Structure 1
Amino acid sequence: MPRGLKPHQTCQVNIAGVSGTTGLLFETDEVLLEAPNWTMDGRSLILNGDGKLWRLDVSTAELVQIPLAGVPDLNNDHVLAPDGESIFLSAYDGHIYRAPLVGGQAERVTPDDGFFHFLHGVSPDGSELAFVGIANGDFSQPGRLMTIRSDGGAAARAGARQLDVGAGHCDGPEYSPDGTWLYLNTESFSADSGHAQLARVRVDGTSLEQLLTSSTVDWFPHLSPDGQHATYIRFPSGTQGHPADLPVDVVLVSTGDWATPLHTWPLFGGQGSLNVNSWAPDSERFAFVAYPLATQTED
């Protein structure tokens, strides 16, 4: 079921720069927008909200709904195809769909294979998707790193595979710009439940390595298109999963030194703030969402 704003809560879409700048692009108390993608022409952000898909113009801050057919309510896992003309979408029925970015009829990609499919990455050539598979929709079980052909049907069924990244829950798998690595977060490096850490693994499932060792709970590494920088979201130590409505940090690092933050943006949010890659095509800017609650005072 799509999330909604709480009483006295607003949704703020922000744009930050690698120099440390930040600016509020859009604010609303009507719809809870999540997970911005940046279009390849640099003109718009694509977000979900109320189970629908939205386009937010970066110049005018105009928000318009993208009309889709043939797809259930959407969650916050969506990724633009490399052709710049279509988008892959995860829906609440546990399947992945492909639809025209301008709107129109969506087509299902994933088969009925016993998994819920939570999309996070598309390969640079557009031929493969990386997702988290939850067996039988049983969320008490850890998510598994899986890939599948993006063209659906028999090709997708034949191309589905699971990569071994340990016994712990993993999430957020995303291809590197050169297509050789999948970046993700995983609990496999710790015996402590929920202690997600940043990692990468080669697309053939070899060479799993931890990128950063920290006491915080770190999710969703996103590389810039030029591969020089990355963002991730940092939850407080002891956090289970990636919940909403917490004090969290969006962190910017150089991909040559994940342990040294270049800039940090504290915010109230978590779920929906930085679930998918939100880098601009120029690798100079990225977007994130905050959900502040107004301070309530009595008269």
Structure 2
Amino acid sequence: MIRTLQAGQRCEVRIASVTGSGELLYSTDGILLEAPNWTLDNKSLILNGDGKLWRLDASTAELAGIPLTGIPDLNNDHVLAPDGETVFLSAVDGHIYRAPLAGGQAERVTPDDGWFHFLHGVSPDGKELAYVGIEGGDFTRPGRLMTIASDGGARAGVDVRQLDVGEGHCDGPEYSPDGTWLYLNTESFSTDPGHAQLARIRVDGTGFEQLLGSNTVDWFPHLSPNGAYASYIRFPSGTQGHPADLPVAVVLVSTSDWKTPLRTWPVFGGQGTLNVNSWSPDSDRFAFVAYPPATQTED
């Protein structure tokens, strides 16, 4: 289902700095944009909205569509390849696609294996994708941590691999900059419904560990390219899933100390705010999206 803004609601694309500052880059009441990726040339953000892909110029704040063919409507799971010229995308049909970042024909990566596939990570060498698999497209079942060769095609069926991160639902897996770890959130550390916590596991399936124990519901850990920082989104205690339109906080931490936030940005948002890695290539800034209602404007 394609998300739209409510009456009077705005979409605000914001930039946060590791120094703690923040700025509003783009605001609109015409389209609900989600999940920014920062391009490798440090010039643009890539977002989805209205089922399409968009490029937002980080200097001029001009928004332009990226024309894609051969792909259904998009959801908010898209990640840029290390070559800077390719984007991997999840679509509403439950499949992952590869397409030129400049626009053009998309090619499907994932096989018809009876699962839904939600992309979150591309390995540093570009050869592997990490995604969440939902068996049978049945969302009453927990998501599973899966990897697949990024070339897909005939090899895809044998290259699919599942990593064991417990019985709880997991989401948001993405590779560390050195390709050694997959960072994710999982409900496997608690019996409380929906109580997601931050974790990581080595790409070989060993070393599964919790990064932070908290009373809040924590989703989508994203490491900076230099590995020094991470951002994630904090939902209120008791939240199930990662819903839209509620008070949340975007959190910045040092990867040497996940327990002590360097800065938090309270926003009205949730779904779409920080689903994918949005760090700038120089590791100085990251982007997120807020959706203030008619009676509120984010500071």
Task: Give 3-state SS (helix, strand or coil) of 1:279's partner.
Answer: coil
Q: Which residue of 1 aligns with 2:199?
A: 199
Unmatched 5+ stretches in structure 2: none
Q: What is the Cα deviation at residue 125 of structure 1?
A: 0.2
Unmatched 5+ stretches in structure 1: none
Q: What is the Cα deviation at residue 87 of structure 1?
A: 0.1
The 5 A counterparts of 1:29-178 are 29-178=29-178
Equivalent residue letter for 1:110: T
Task: Give 3-state SS (helix, strand or coil) of 2:156's partner.
Answer: helix
Note if 1:210 corresponds to 2:210.
yes
Equivalent residue letter for 2:239: T
Q: Which residue of 1 aligns with 2:5?
A: 5
Q: What is the Cα deviation at residue 202 of structure 1?
A: 0.3
Task: Give 3-state SS (helix, strand or coil) of 1:156's partner.
Answer: helix
Task: Give 3-state SS (helix, strand or coil) of 2:75's partner.
Answer: strand
Whole-angstrom CA distance in 2 between matches of 1:62 and 1:153: 36
Equivalent residue letter for 2:205: G
Whole-angstrom CA distance in 2 between matches of 1:45 and 1:33: 11
Equivalent residue letter for 1:217: V
Identical amino acids, percent of aligned pairs? 79
Aligned residues: 296
Two-structure CA RMSD over aligned residues (Å):
0.7
Q: TM-score if structure 2 supplies the norm length?
A: 0.98
Q: What is the Cα deviation at residue 153 of structure 1?
A: 1.1
Q: Which residue of 1 aligns with 2:19?
A: 19
Q: Which residue of 2 aligns with 1:249?
A: 249
Whole-angstrom CA distance in 2 between matches of 1:22 and 1:169: 32
Whole-angstrom CA distance in 2 between matches of 1:205 and 1:241: 25
Equivalent residue letter for 1:129: L
1:186-237 deviations in Å (ceiling 9; x for gaps): 0000011100000000001111000000000000000000000000000000
Whole-angstrom CA distance in 1 between matches of 2:165 and 2:72: 31
Q: What is the Cα deviation at residue 158 of structure 1?
A: 1.4
Equivalent residue letter for 2:148: I
Whole-angstrom CA distance in 2 between matches of 1:60 and 1:120: 28
1:28-68 deviations in Å (ceiling 9; x for gaps): 00000000000000000000000000000000000000000
Equivalent residue letter for 1:79: V
Task: Give 3-state SS (helix, strand or coil) of 2:71's partner.
Answer: coil
Q: TM-score if structure 1 supplies the norm length?
A: 0.98
- TM superposition outliers: structure 1 runs of 4+ over 6 Å: none
Equivalent residue letter for 1:83: D
Whole-angstrom CA distance in 2 between matches of 1:237 and 1:17: 26
Whole-angstrom CA distance in 2 between matches of 1:265 and 1:38: 19
Q: What is the Cα deviation at residue 294 of structure 1?
A: 1.5
Q: What is the Cα deviation at residue 3 of structure 1?
A: 0.3
Note if 1:184 corresponds to 2:184.
yes
Whole-angstrom CA distance in 2 between matches of 1:257 and 1:156: 38
Whole-angstrom CA distance in 2 between matches of 1:187 and 1:206: 18
1:78-126 deviations in Å (ceiling 9; x for gaps): 0000000010000000000000000000000000011000000000000
Q: Which residue of 2 aligns with 1:294?
A: 294
Whole-angstrom CA distance in 1 between matches of 2:173 and 2:24: 28
Q: Which residue of 2 aligns with 1:261?
A: 261
Equivalent residue letter for 2:179: G
Task: Give 3-state SS (helix, strand or coil) of 1:237's partner.
Answer: coil
